[in-house]
Amino acid sequence: MSDKELTPESQSIPAHVAVIMDGNNRWAKKKRLPSIAGHRAGAAAVRKTVEAAARQGVKVLTLFAFSSENWKRPQLEIDGLMGLFMRSLKKEAKRLNEYSIRLEVIGDKSGFSESLQEQIQIAEQETANNDGMVLVIAANYGGRWDIVEASKRVAQQVETGQLAAADITETHLAEHICLADLPELDLIIRTSGEERVSNFLLWQLAYAEFIFMPVLWPDFDKTHFQEALDIYQQRQRRYGGR
């Protein structure tokens, strides 16, 4: 990825794109490989997508890496995913730093091992001063969890007398939702042909455009990302109006 490649090619692009990266297991099954092989191939697709988004001038790219429901998967697969996450944080942080991409991880990080939590913190700190695209990784994240946590913070304000219950507005809750300090979500892409949000960014997706693509995540590349952007650019966003 060169500096030239990171130059935005279009001004009519979404500021904030989120991706539900679906299809790793099906990709591995089709190839008669273990599930971890699909996740490794998915990690390669992440690199391609990050590069494509940065090149196009996207300001924020949010990737759904591990949901709060994924703990129900076989332990062997979970262990493989955690190991892959750890290795990716160690390896990719330097590459992100090179291209001034800031990393942010959202979700209930307390559910991870202490060593993984420490590595997340290290990777975030290493890229904290970068002023390019923000790469958000949603890990052990759930949209309902996000809203509940924000509600708890607002409730604490009520308990301490900082806020009256009758005065609570949408804005008060929005201030405590994940990604509150970043541009609003414009576009959600889901791969693998499934057409559901799977408890992802439930608050943030209120007026986002949805694009569902049949390609399995490990096969997703810059051509598919460009296709999604082309579809987005043809949409008329009304935000509830005409």
Chain-centre distance of CA 152, in angstroms?
A: 23
Q: How many CB atoms lie within 10 A of CB 141?
A: 25
Q: How many CB atoms lie within 10 A of CB 146?
A: 25
Indicate if 79 belongs to the active site. no
Task: Give me the DSSP letters along 225-241.
Answer: HHHHHHHHHT----TT-
Quick check: helix, strand or coil at residue 136? strand
Q: Which of 3, 22, 24, 97 is catalytic?
A: 22
Phi first, then psi: what are they for 211, rounded to 5°?
A: -130, 120
Q: Where are the beta strands (DSSP E) in the chain?
A: 16-20, 60-67, 102-106, 134-141, 187-190, 209-212
Chain-centre distance of CA 155, in angstroms?
A: 27
Which residues have CB under 8 Å from 28's CB, separation 6+?
34, 35, 36, 37, 38, 39, 41
Q: Which of 3, 24, 25, 70 is catalytic?
A: 70
The DSSP code for 192 is T
The DSSP code for 185 is P
For residue 31, give both structure tokens.
Answer: 């190839």
Of 194, 188, 220, the residue nearest 41 (C-alpha)? 220
Indicate if 22 belongs to the active site. yes
Positions annotated as catalytic residues are 22, 70
